Structure formats: structure tokens, C-alpha cells
Structure 1
Amino acid sequence: MKAIFTILILISNLTLFSQVDKAAGDYLLTLKTKENDLFEYKLTLNEDGTFFFHYYSNIKQGIPPEVNKYGKGKWTIENKVISFFSDKQKDFDEKHTLDFTNSKVRFVIKSPRDKTDQIIKTRLQFLDSEIFWMERIEIFKI
């Protein structure tokens, strides 16, 4: 009985790690307007559970025209929902000012059971964030 229980725990841990492996990587969204304004969102999810985020905008009529914002912290995944956490003492400095605590994204990937030719790009869809301009953003895996 103990052996069966141990095997079940090992299998469940392997499935958790496989989700992390699939979600880890670089994600990018680049938007351009007719006026040649540029918005770029880049998120890196590391396999060790840390993340880095960089937002860049170049708005020709903006003051200032170029803006860079950064964030970092830790992430976890459960049931294809990724949660972000930022530690006020470790993750914030002059450069990293965005607080992703309480932000949640859905990890979207083509199901292994889907045998159709439909192309579904691996992406992260922000469901909830205290950073108002991040809600409903979808960033795609590079």
C-alpha cells in the first residue's frame, strides 16, 4: 500500500513539473498603431519559478515619448492558471517598480487530445491584475 501511495505521489509531481516546463519561456506582444506608436510587452517565465517583465512604449505625441517599466517576482501554476507574487523587500528597486502581486493569467495551449489541424498559439491571457493596463492582454510564446 505504501509503495502504491509513493508511486502516485511521484506521478502527480511529474505532471506538475511538466506544466511548469510547458509554461516556462519568453512571451511577447508587440502592437503598432497607424501613427507608428509602439507598445511592447515582454514576459520571461523561468523554470525556477521567477519571472521578469518589461513594458516599452514609444508614443510620438507622448510626454515622455519613450517609457520603460519593469517588474519581477515569483510565479506558480495550478490548473493552467499562473499566479504572480512580488516581494516588497526583494523584488522592488529603482528599476523594477511594477507590482504583479495578485495578477493571474490563463495558460492557453493546444490540447494534446486535439487532433485537428487548428493552430492554437501558446499564450498567456491576463485575467486579473492590479496593473489596470495589463487586464485582458494576451502575450504569445516566442
Structure 2
Amino acid sequence: MKLITTILFLIFNLTLFAQSNQFAGEYQRTLEDTQNKHLIEYKLTLNQDGTFLFHSYSKINGGVPPEVNKYGKGKWTAKDNLITFSSNKQEDFDAKYTLDFNKSTARFVTKNPRDKSDKIVKTRLTFLESGIFWMERIDIFKI
């Protein structure tokens, strides 16, 4: 009986680990206006250990200042296809990491495995809500 319980426990833990595997990775989005020489880049890394790093870079021609780098970090959790981000004020904030991802939720979007059509669906995170106003409704694609 102990052996069966142990095996079931191990299988359960492996399935949990496998589910977080599909979310972990690097995501990126680049918005570029070549005519006016504007550039905005978002990079998000979801680590296997449940932590994340975010970097936003913007270079706006005629902007003050012309180049801006913003960083954020914290922890992420997944339930179904929703990823919830959180940042601890004592651990995750300093002079470099200033973005507050508390109250941020993103949906993991990928092609349904049962969909056998030729339709191409890029794997992405769509931010549904965020305390950072410019992050809402942003899609960041997995690379």
C-alpha cells in the first residue's frame, strides 16, 4: 500500500512539473516604426523555479529621455492557462527593478492539440490585467 501511494504521489508531481514546463521560457515583443525611428521591446523570462524577469526598452525619436530601460522581477504561478505574477516589496524591488507586477494576470495562448487544421497560432502570453497600465492587452510571443 505504501508503494502504491508513493508511486501515485510521484506521478502526480511529475504531471505538475510537466505543466509548468509548457509556460516556462522566453517571450518577446518588438514594436517598431521605421519611418519615425521609434522602437519598443518587451522581454519576459519565465524560469522553471517560478521566478520571472522582465525588461522593457524604448527608444523614441525626440523623446525625453530618448532611451528608457525598465525592469521587473518576481514570482509567477500557473492555474489552467492563467499565469499570475507577484512581486515582493522587500525582495524584488531596488534601484534597477522598479516595475510592480502585482495584480498582473496573463493568459497562455497556444494552438489546441486537437486542432488539426493548417491554422498557425503563435504561442504567446496575453496580459489581461496589470497594475502597469501599458501592459494590459499586450501580447508577448514565445521565442
TM-score of the pair, normalised by structure 2? 0.91
Q: 1:115: Cα distance to partner?
A: 1.7
1:31 counterpart = 2:31: yes
Q: 1:7: Cα distance to partner?
A: 5.5
Counterpart amino acid of 2:142? Answer: K
Correspondences of 1:50-69 after superposition (within 5 Å): 50-69=51-70
1:120 counterpart = 2:137: no
User: Which range moves more in the overlay, 91-100 or 105-114?
Assistant: 105-114
Runs of 4+ residues over 2 Å off in structure 1: 1-16
Task: Structure 2: state its 5+ residue gaps.
Answer: none
Q: 1:6: Cα distance to partner?
A: 5.9
> Hey, what's the Cα distance between the residues in 1 that align with 2:95 and 2:30?
25
Counterpart amino acid of 2:28? Answer: L
Q: 1:135: Cα distance to partner?
A: 0.2
> Hey, what's the Cα distance between the residues in 1 that align with 2:75 and 2:89?
12
Counterpart amino acid of 2:27? Answer: Y
Q: 1:18: Cα distance to partner?
A: 1.6
> Hey, what's the Cα distance between the residues in 2 that align with 1:118 and 1:28?
22
> Hey, what's the Cα distance between the residues in 2 that align with 1:81 and 1:35?
36
Counterpart amino acid of 1:17? Answer: F
Alpha-carbon deviations, 1:35-81, whole Å to 9, x = none? 12000000000001000000000001110000000000000000110
1:139 counterpart = 2:140: yes
Give me the identity figure in percent: 65
SS of the residue corresponding to residue 140 of structure 1 reads strand
1:74 counterpart = 2:75: yes
Counterpart amino acid of 1:38? Answer: L
**Cα RMSD over matched residues?**
1.7
Residues 131 and 111 (structure 1), Cα distance of their counterparts in 2 relative to 1, 3 Å cut = same
SS of the residue corresponding to residue 98 of structure 2 reads strand
User: Which range moves more in the overlay, 105-114 or 43-52?
Assistant: 105-114
Residues 113 and 9 (structure 1), Cα distance of their counterparts in 2 relative to 1, 3 Å cut = farther
TM-score of the pair, normalised by structure 1? 0.92
State how many pairs are aligned: 142
1:90 counterpart = 2:91: yes
